[in-house]
């Protein structure tokens, strides 16, 4: 049995305004830094054996306070990387809504592959495989923390609970939130979705 704390990165100045995707140089703002400190303060007491993160700056910066408190390295995981939105990367919300593909993104995301990017299906398979590998590497009765991104976390949780990919947008994963997963030989469970640090 392995416990996985799945954390969305803290807020940045583009949150809710622009699809930054894998753009480099996107850093936490002051609120995001506070969210990272709150996450670290709560999870530092959870007997964490390893810390994993998407390689992007905003996830690494969210993981850093916990890494310092526990004196554990931040292990990069490409499986936790943001969805590759291809040509959509950097688009504002207003621009995305004007595109014909946007309706399909909202209604049938399982059918979407972003131009010069990846599909939601491929992204889901990637993160699901990464979490399974992380759980297996951790071993029995261990807890790990994985820092990732909104859509990636929602895709992982949708798979975990048997939700169709086309419904994954209905899940809420706020910046600085913690979702709690349990991996075991008898099956995998979602114990908490989108929790605030104070709830742990």
For residue 100, name the pLDDT band (cuts at 50, 70, 90).
very high
**Percentage of residues in the chain with pLDDT exceeding 90?**
94
Residue that is written with structure tokens 């600085």 in the block:
176
DSSP state of 173: -
Work out the average pLDDT over 92-117: 96
* Contact predicate 85/21, CB 8 Å: yes
pLDDT digits (tens, 9 = 90+) for 33-71: 999 999 999 999 999 999 999 999 999 999 999 999 999
Residue 104 is predicted with a pLDDT of: 96
Domains, in order of start, for the chain: 2-199 (3.40.50.1240)
Residue 56 is predicted with a pLDDT of: 98
Residue 142 is predicted with a pLDDT of: 94
Active-site residues, by number, are 9, 149
The b/e string for 10-48 (b: 16+ C-beta within 10 A; e otherwise) is bbbeebeebbbbbbeebebbeebbebbbbbbebbeebeb
Work out the average pLDDT over 127-151: 96
Q: Given a cut of 90, is residue 200 above it in pLDDT?
A: no
pLDDT digits (tens, 9 = 90+) for 165-179: 999 999 999 999 999
């Amino acid at each position: 049995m392995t416990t996985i704390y799945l954390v969305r990165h803290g807020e940045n100045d583009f949150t809710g305004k622009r699809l930054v995707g894998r753009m480099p140089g996107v850093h936490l703002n002051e609120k995001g830094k506070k969210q990272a400190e709150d996450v670290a303060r709560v999870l530092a007491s959870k007997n964490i054996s390893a810390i994993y993160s998407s390689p992007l700056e905003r996830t690494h910066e969210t993981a850093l306070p916990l890494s310092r408190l526990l004196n554990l390295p931040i292990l990069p995981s490409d499986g936790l990387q943001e969805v590759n939105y291809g040509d959509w990367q950097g688009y504002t919300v207003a621009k995305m809504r004007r595109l014909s593909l946007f309706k399909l993104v909202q209604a049938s995301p399982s059918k979407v592959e972003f131009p010069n990017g990846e599909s939601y299906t491929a992204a889901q398979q990637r993160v699901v495989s990464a979490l399974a590998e992380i759980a297996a590497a951790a071993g029995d009765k261990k807890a790990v923390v994985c820092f990732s991104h909104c859509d990636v976390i929602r895709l992982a949780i949708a798979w975990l609970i048997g939700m169709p990919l086309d419904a994954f947008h209905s899940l809420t994963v706020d910046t600085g939130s913690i979702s709690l997963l349990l991996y075991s030989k008898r099956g995998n469970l979602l114990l908490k979705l989108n929790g605030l640090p104070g709830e742990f």
